[in-house]
């Protein structure tokens, strides 16, 4: 990695230490952001796959699994912490890449009759923008939990660096390295890799033009070999099909295509995400603004214009990566409070942060080249202008880093461990749990595969039963599950007759969910975070007899979660209680236990006081009358409803 030549004088020290700090500071912030917790969203599943070298949810993320499995061998803390430290390393490397771009960009823009003092401070200016490009919340959130996005962002940043950096590399070298990093990115997270594909393609075009048509076969053959090498990690999906940690079992070409194409999640993109393209674009820009800070975003936008006017063609390639990333993520849909969606923006935030260096360099040059007073600013005026237009944008990494560490506090807490203890602690021996929420299945998977908890319990992950190999995995563990698994495959959910039959032989617990609530109401009793499946219809007397202990347990769980670090910042903590209180309210209302239903509604409305379903159900419960309530109109996304 080549930077601009060091200037003479005292700035030589800065030129020596700034590159090191560009790596060390982001790596340190990334490490501080992580914790021992298994984490939220799909972090527990990714960590468990890393620990057991297994295939993850589609598209499989084989490169991440291979690299993260090595990280799990480091004897520091929990498995989850070890994987987050890998993310911190990726963040540090991104900071170093950013410095390798901000320094030559600032040097090019500042070129001219500028005083020596300005050049002596260039490494620090470049360092400030390199840190600003890497310490925003969109990037740091990918290092505070086990995730693929830090590695994906690093590979995309490497692809952009290889194509754009003015370091004297030959066009042949850029093309070959670009193909390799792009293929490696595809083996990790192919969508994010595709956001950097245009600049890699430009490197290939440059090489073809240089070599001419006759040399095309000789040029392309190494590209094909390097591309195949970069995609080689996909062989891991088949090689580890029998691994206990593999949530997808790839045994055929059809399984491989299903996994790599991520067909299971295609409904969650584009029109499957609520909101218009304009709304999604505004959400994307909001995340970028929170990552770079508003001043940093303004500097980035101005930097794009300045780099274009100053004819810095390689900087335009960074702008292309940012543009493609922003438009692609907005086009696919964007969930504003989901850090996974923000993970797709890592390459765009990185490139925009780098381009901000062009603005401060141009501002510095304009201030220094301005005529003396009275035509130009006074000495004090120049100092103020430097502070506002040069120092302030370059120092935006400080508030960005502070904001990132505050917002990731929930990832350093133990809320997910509290949830998992509540899920597994109260179920009887040899229980069968039907987990309907993906996060519940992921947490229980981590607890069993990584922590070794409750090996006697069998978890049926309802959303994943149709995935390749899942039915074989479940039946190999317990053949008694065959009727339930068969129902999942034939109709998408188990018939109650199958669950009732299973309940005669094994304790069965089901996670209440819109997909099962209306069918299970007559046969279950809520007991903590799950409901107990009885072998025959329950009575209202039995429901009311068990309700006080259940509601008290949920209240204690709510208080325990509210006291965990970051509970006021991580929405998943409140949503965990909200979702259970909401289903409790529906269950008790459907059974005619109206006072218990009112209590559950009150708990849910502490979190979401204006939710339409809760307001409507509360109004019905407050009306005069007794007996069961028709709760179908208040069920969110019930089967057959949108």
Distance CA(54)–CA(45), nearest Å, equals 10
Instruction: Quote the pLDDT of residue 264.
Output: 60
CA 249 – CA 241 distance, rounded (Å): 5
DSSP 324-377: HHHHHHHHH---TT-HHHHHTTHHHHHHHHHHHHHHHHHHHHHHHHSPPTTTS-
Domain ranges of the chain: 11-409, 415-634
**Distance (Å, whole) CA 307 – CA 284:** 23
The angle that helices 540-562 and 571-591 make with each other, rounded to 10 degrees, is: 170
- Model confidence, pTM: 0.90
Q: What are phi and psi of 422, to 5 degrees?
A: -70, -35
Q: Using alpha carbons, select from 380, 390, 309, 383 the residue that is nearest to residue 122.
A: 390
User: CA-to-CA distance for 491 and 579, rounded, in angstroms?
Assistant: 25
Place of tokens 């007397």: 541
Q: What is the pLDDT of residue 606?
A: 92
* Distance in angstroms (rounded) separating the CA atoms of residues 188 and 538: 49
pLDDT at 270: 47
User: Before 374, cis peptide (omega within 30)?
Assistant: yes
CA-based R_g, the chain, Å: 28
Q: 475-484 pLDDT, tens per residue?
A: 888 888 888 8
pLDDT at 272: 52
pLDDT at 641 over 50: no
Q: Is the peptide bond before 257 cis (omega within 30 degrees of 0)?
A: no
Residue pair 174/166 in contact by the 8 Å Cβ criterion:
no
Q: Which long-range contacts (CB under 8 A, 24 or more apart) does 264-273 make?
A: 264/57, 264/58, 264/467, 265/58, 268/333, 269/332, 269/333, 270/331, 270/332, 270/333, 271/333, 272/333, 273/332, 273/333, 273/334, 273/335
Mean of the per-residue pLDDT values of the chain: 89
* Closest residue by Cα to residue 189 from 232, 150, 146: 150
pLDDT tens digits, 302-319: 999 998 888 788 888 999
**Pair 554, 577: CB distance under 8 Å:** yes
* Cα 497 to Cα 504: distance, rounded to the nearest angstrom: 11
- The values of phi and psi at residue 527, to 5°, are -140, 90
327-332-337-340 Cα dihedral, nearest 10 degrees: -100
Q: State pLDDT tens for residues 602-628.
A: 999 999 999 999 999 999 998 867 889
Angle at 245 between CA 488 and CA 85, to 5 degrees: 130
Query: Above pLDDT 70, what percent of the chain?
Result: 93
User: Is residue 269 pLDDT above 80, yes or no?
Assistant: no
How far, rounded to the nearest angstrom, does the alpha carbon of residue 81 sit from its chain's CA centroid?
A: 16
**Average pLDDT value for residue range 505-531:** 91
Query: β-pairing, 508-510 with 524-527?
Result: unpaired
pLDDT tier for residue 112 given thresholds of 50, 70 and 90: low
Residue 35 burial (CB count, 10 A): 23
Return the pLDDT at 349. 95
3-state secondary structure of 458: strand
Q: What is the pLDDT of residues 168-196, one digit of tens each?
A: 899 999 999 999 999 999 999 988 988 88
């Amino acid at each position: 990695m080549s930077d601009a030549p060091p200037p003479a004088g005292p700035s030589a020290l800065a030129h020596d230490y700034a590159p090191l700090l560009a790596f060390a500071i982001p790596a340190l912030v990334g490490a501080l952001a992580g914790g021992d917790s298994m984490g939220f969203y799909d972090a527990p599943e990714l960590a468990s796959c890393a620990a057991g070298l297994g295939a993850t949810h589609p598209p499989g993320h084989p490169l991440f699994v291979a690299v993260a499995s090595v990280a799990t061998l480091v004897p520091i803390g929990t498995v989850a912490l070890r994987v987050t430290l890998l993310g911190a390393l990726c963040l540090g490397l991104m900071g170093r890449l950013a410095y390798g771009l901000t320094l030559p960009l600032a040097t090019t823009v500042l070129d001219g009759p500028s005083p020596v003092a300005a050049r002596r401070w260039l490494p620090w200016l470049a360092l400030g923008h390199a840190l600003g490009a890497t310490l925003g919340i969109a990037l740091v959130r990918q290092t505070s939990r086990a995730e693929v996005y830090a590695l994906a962002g690093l590979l995309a940043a490497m692809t952009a660096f290889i194509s754009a950096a003015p370091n004297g590399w030959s066009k042949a070298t850029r093309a070959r390295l670009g193909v390799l990093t792009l293929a490696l990115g595809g083996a990790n997270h192919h969508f994010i890799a595709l956001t950097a594909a245009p600049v890699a393609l430009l490197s290939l075009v440059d090489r073809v033009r240089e070599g001419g048509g006759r040399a095309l076969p000789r040029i392309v053959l190494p590209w094909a070999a390097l591309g195949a090498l970069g995609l080689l990690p996909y062989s891991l999906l088949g090689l580890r099909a029998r691994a206990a940690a593999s949530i997808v079992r790839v045994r055929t070409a059809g399984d491989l295509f299903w996994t790599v194409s991520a067909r299971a999640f295609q409904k969650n993109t584009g029109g499957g995400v609520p909101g218009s393209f304009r709304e999604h674009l505004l959400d994307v820009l909001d995340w970028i603004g929170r990552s770079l800070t508003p001043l940093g975003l303004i500097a980035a936008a101005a930097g794009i214009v300045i780099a274009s006017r100053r004819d810095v063609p390689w900087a335009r390639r960074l702008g292309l990566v940012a543009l493609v990333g922003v438009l692609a993520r907005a086009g696919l849909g964007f969930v504003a409070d989901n850090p996974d969606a923000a993970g797709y923006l890592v390459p765009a935030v990185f490139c925009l942060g780098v381009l901000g260096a062009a603005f401060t360099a141009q501002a510095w040059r304009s201030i220094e080249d301005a005529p003396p007073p009275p035509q130009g600013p006074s000495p004090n005026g120049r100092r103020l202008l430097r502070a506002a237009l040069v120092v302030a944008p370059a120092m935006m990494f400080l508030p960005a880093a502070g904001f990132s560490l505050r917002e990731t506090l929930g990832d350093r807490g133990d809320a997910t461990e509290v949830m998992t203890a509540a899920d597994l602690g109260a179920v009887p021996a040899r229980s069968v749990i039907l987990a309907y929420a993906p996060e519940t299945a992921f947490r229980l998977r981590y607890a069993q595969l990584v922590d070794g908890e409750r090996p006697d319990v069998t978890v049926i992950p309802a959303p994943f039963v149709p995935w390749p190999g899942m039915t074989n995995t479940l039946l190999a563990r317990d053949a008694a599950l065959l009727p339930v698994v068969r129902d999942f495959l034939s109709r998408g959910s188990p018939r109650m007759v199958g669950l009732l039959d299973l309940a005669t032989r094994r304790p069965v617990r089901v996670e209440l969910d819109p997909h099962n609530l209306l069918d299970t109401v007559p046969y279950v009793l809520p007991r903590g975070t799950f409901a107990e499946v009885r072998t025959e219809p329950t009575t209202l007397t039995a429901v009311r007899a068990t309700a006080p202990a259940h509601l008290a347990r949920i209240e204690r769980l709510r208080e325990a979660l509210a006291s965990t670090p970051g509970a006021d910042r991580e929405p998943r903590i409140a949503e965990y209680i909200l979702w259970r209180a909401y289903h409790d309210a529906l269950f008790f209302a459907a059974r005619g236990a109206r006072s218990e239903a009112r209590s559950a509604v009150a708990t849910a409305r502490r979190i979401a006081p204006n939710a339409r379903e809760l307001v409507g159900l509360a109004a019905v419960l407050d009306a005069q009358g007794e007996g069961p309530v028709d709760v179908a109109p208040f069920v969110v996304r019930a089967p057959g409803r949108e």
